[in-house]
Amino acid sequence: MIKFKYLVGILVIATALNSCKSNKEKRAEVVTNNYIRFIDSVTTNGTIDALTNWNAIQKCYEQKSNELNLQIDMLEDNTIFDEKINAATSKYETFRNLIVEKKLKPEAGSF
C-alpha cells in the first residue's frame, strides 16, 4: 500500500511538471505566431504606409521581439521555433533595410 501511494505521488508530480512544460510551449507558440503575423502584416501593407508610420512599427517590433525572446528563453528546447523565427526576422530585416534606404534617398537629394 505504501508503494502504491509513492507511485501515485510520483505520477501526480510528473503530470504536474509535464503540464507546466506544455503550457510554456503553448505560450511560446502563441507569441511566435503573433510575431510572425505582425511581420507579415507590416511587410504586406507596403512601403508608403511603413514610411509614414516607421517609428511606431519599429517600437512595436521591438516589443514583440522582446516578448518573444522572454518566452523562448523559458524553454529547454527552442529549436522547434528557431526556423520560423529566423525566417520572419530575416524578412523584417530585409524590409527594414528597404525602408531605411527609401527614407535616406529624399534626404540625400536635399543637400
- Which pLDDT value is given to residue 110? 54
Per-residue pLDDT of the chain (111 residues; tens, 9 = 90+): 777 666 666 666 767 666 666 788 889 999 999 999 999 999 998 888 888 899 999 999 999 999 999 999 988 888 888 999 999 999 999 999 999 998 888 665 555
Angstrom distance (rounded) from CA 80 to CA 83: 7
- Coil, strand, or helix at residue 97? helix
pLDDT of amino acid 84: 93
pLDDT of residue 103: 84
Integer Cα distance of 42 and 92 in angstroms: 8
- pTM for the predicted model, two decimal places: 0.76
**φ/ψ (deg, to 5) at 75:** -85, 145
